[in-house]
Amino acid sequence: MSDLFYLSEEQFKRIKKYFPYPHGKPRVDDLLIISGIIHVLKRGLQWRDAPQEYGIPKTLYNRFVRWSKMGVFDKIFSALVEDGGTPDQLMIDATHLKAHRTAASLLKKGLFPVLSGVQRVD
């Protein structure tokens, strides 16, 4: 498949130090796994739809969840931002979510117990 995503060796070298050290059984190549994770997230795929070239989808998912809980991605993003210097421009995302019209009645029906006793201000 020609549309697979792989980090270059130079890109991987920059983030490799933020991955946890393996314990016990040798694990699948981190470069392959991080490339697979990026591929899935970039294309909005479900984990099970990841191409076979990246390995077992459950491995991708488990590693993503474990590294997310450990803050690995936060450390990588912070380090990349610091290395980048001051940006020339900043962008703000103005995305918003629209609630369904029935969402307003949930409070009146007592479906939010924490807020049910709160007086409504008009």
pLDDT confidence tier of residue 47, bands split at 50, 70 and 90: very high
How many structural domains comprise the chain? 1
Domain membership of residue 72 as a residue range: 30-84
Q: What share of the chain is helix, strand, coil (3-state, %, to 5)?
A: 55, 0, 45
Question: In this structure, is residue 101 part of a structural domain?
Answer: no
Question: In this structure, is residue 71 part of a structural domain?
Answer: yes
pLDDT one-digit tens code per residue, 62-115? 999 999 999 999 999 888 888 777 778 878 877 777 777 766 666 666 665 554
pLDDT one-digit tens code per residue, 10-28? 999 999 999 988 888 888 8
Question: In this structure, is residue 50 part of a structural domain?
Answer: yes
Rg (CA), the chain: 21
Question: In this structure, is residue 63 part of a structural domain?
Answer: yes
- Burial of residue 58 (CB within 10 Å: 0-12, 13-18, 19+) is exposed
Question: In this structure, is residue 120 part of a structural domain?
Answer: no
The answer to whether the CB of 39 falls within 8 A of the CB of 51 is: yes
Task: Tell me the whole-structure pTM to 2 decimals.
Answer: 0.67
Place of tokens 């450990």: 70
